[in-house]
């Protein structure tokens, strides 16, 4: 994707994308860079983060890579206190998908599901909001956080109890944060993708038990638009919520559930 195809909604802004090394995070990094953001690609896998940052730089964008494990609170604190972390936009895209039946689910399983999906998201939001509030530059009115949830927050399938619970928690945590951060002019919104063609989704589907693979394929396939979404299409929605075009939107959930429910 060459720069210049989009407007410059993020001119002079720094965007941190947690989980930016792959999937929706990767597509979002490229979209924000194409709209003139300085993008910090943050991921636990520093090699994938470096590859995304390099791809952005090759097309004329401004980007750098950083390694961070968002499940470790101190690591997140150190990351946001690092040089050049004058963050204006935070995208939380890190997360995991795995399956286990409700009857076999244990408390450690829930804790594992909540680690990157909730704990990491909370740590990142807390540190990013502190960094945003400490700024005095003119662009302070454009501060925004967008968290990636899933339509699994609204409906589930066998084996996804812990994942669905974590994604539902993201949605409500985002709304609560929006209320408390509104006085500081920080908007917080959520996107709930459905049926997106990413390497993570393909890998998850491949490791499902045979009896669940058909169920997952059917549930994951949208009805009104009978194909999987491309990551770039979801990234466009993320970029909108992060931009000044959504300046009067906070505590909002942008969901793709309708394409899956109605025929």
- Of the candidates 135, 187, 116, which has an alpha carbon nearest to the alpha carbon of residue 14? 135
Q: Strand 89-92 to strand 144-148: parallel, antiparallel, or no bridges (unpaired)? A: parallel
Does residue 174 belong to any structural domain of this protein? yes
Does residue 6 belong to any structural domain of this protein? no
Q: Which residues are catalytic?
A: 163
pLDDT in tens, the chain (263 residues): 444 456 899 999 999 999 999 999 999 999 999 999 999 999 999 999 999 999 999 999 999 999 999 999 999 999 999 887 889 999 999 977 667 788 999 988 888 888 888 999 999 999 999 999 988 766 556 899 999 998 888 877 777 888 889 999 999 999 999 999 999 999 999 999 877 776 766 666 566 667 666 656 666 666 677 788 899 999 999 999 999 999 999 999 998 765 554 33
Does residue 206 belong to any structural domain of this protein? yes
* CATH number of 61's domain: 3.40.50.720
Does residue 261 belong to any structural domain of this protein? no
Q: List the domain range (segments joined by +) for residue 92.
A: 14-254
Does residue 77 belong to any structural domain of this protein? yes
Q: Give every strand in the sheet of 62-67, ordered side by side.
A: 62-67, 38-43, 14-18, 89-92, 144-148, 187-192, 253-255
Does residue 9 belong to any structural domain of this protein? no
Does residue 243 belong to any structural domain of this protein? yes
Handedness of CA 34, 151, 79, 231 (dihedral sign): negative
Which token pair is 137? 């530059």
Q: pTM of the predicted model, to two decimals?
A: 0.89
Does residue 7 belong to any structural domain of this protein? no
Residue 203 exposed, middle or buried by CB count within 10 Å (0-12, 13-18, 19+)? exposed
The count of domains in the chain is: 1
């Amino acid at each position: 994707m060459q720069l210049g195809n989009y407007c410059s909604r993020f001119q002079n802004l720094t965007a941190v994308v947690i989980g930016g090394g792959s999937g929706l995070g990767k597509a979002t990094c490229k979209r924000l860079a194409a709209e003139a953001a300085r993008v910090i690609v943050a991921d636990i896998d520093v090699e994938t983060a470096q590859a995304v940052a390099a791809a952005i730089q090759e097309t004329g964008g401004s980007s750098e890579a950083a390694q961070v494990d968002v499940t470790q609170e101190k690591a997140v604190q150190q990351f946001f206190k690092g040089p050049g972390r004058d963050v204006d936009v935070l995208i939380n895209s890190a997360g995991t998908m795995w399956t286990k039946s409700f009857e076999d689910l244990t408390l450690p399983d829930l804790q594992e599901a909540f680690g990157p999906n909730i704990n990491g998201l909370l740590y990142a939001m807390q540190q990013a909001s502190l960094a945003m509030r400490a700024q005095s530059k003119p662009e302070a009115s454009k501060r925004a956080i967008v968290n990636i949830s899933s339509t699994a927050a609204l409906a589930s399938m066998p084996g996804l109890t812990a994942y669905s619970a974590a994604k539902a928690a993201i949605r409500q945590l985002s709304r609560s944060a929006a209320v408390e951060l509104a006085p500081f002019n920080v908007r917080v919104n959520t996107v709930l993708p459905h049926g997106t063609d990413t390497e993570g989704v393909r890998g998850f589907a491949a490791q499902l038990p045979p009896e669940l693979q058909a169920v997952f394929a059917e549930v994951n396939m949208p009805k009104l638009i009978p194909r999987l979404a491309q990551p770039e299409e979801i990234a466009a929605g993320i970029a909108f919520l992060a931009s000044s075009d959504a300046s009067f939107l906070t505590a909002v959930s942008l969901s793709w559930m309708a394409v899956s429910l109605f025929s």
